[in-house]
Structure 1
Amino acid sequence: MRHGCRVSLPHALRSTAKCQTCKANGVDPQPYIADVIGKIAADWPAARWDELMPWNRAQQPAKPVAQAA
């Protein structure tokens, strides 16, 4: 009997792929995944799941702040 981690290799690869997709789109993976899980658990409409994809949630560029003269 095996002891230790029970995560299968395919599951681990999918998780790694999700993190890499987030990073490639400028999204921090940990808060992103927590937010998506929370929204799905709160009954996010299936018709709007495309809004949850990392490439649709990339961080917007910061707006410049006006400086005092």
Structure 2
Amino acid sequence: MANSTEIKITGRYQSLVIANELSLDIQQFNKWNPGFEKALSAGKEYSMRLPKDKAPLFEVKKQALLAASLRALLQNF
């Protein structure tokens, strides 16, 4: 995890949306971020781990990723 960084987030982000949009392997994302969706769905802050080279991209796309995550969540109901 030497090439990774943590970003504190809140909101109903979906791991699959983040992984797809940032071109990350979902299994690696889940390995680095255990309990990700459970913590966020409970309204807690989460320290999300991402590769260092993807962190700036996340920051740029943060709002769009949250919106896409919420849309995905609503489509599953």
Query: TM-score higher than 0.5 here?
Result: no
TM-score, normalised to structure 1's length? 0.31
* Structure whose CA Rg is larger: 1
Per chain length, whose mean CA-contact separation is higher, i.e. which structure has more relative contact order (CA < 8 Å, sep 6+)? 2
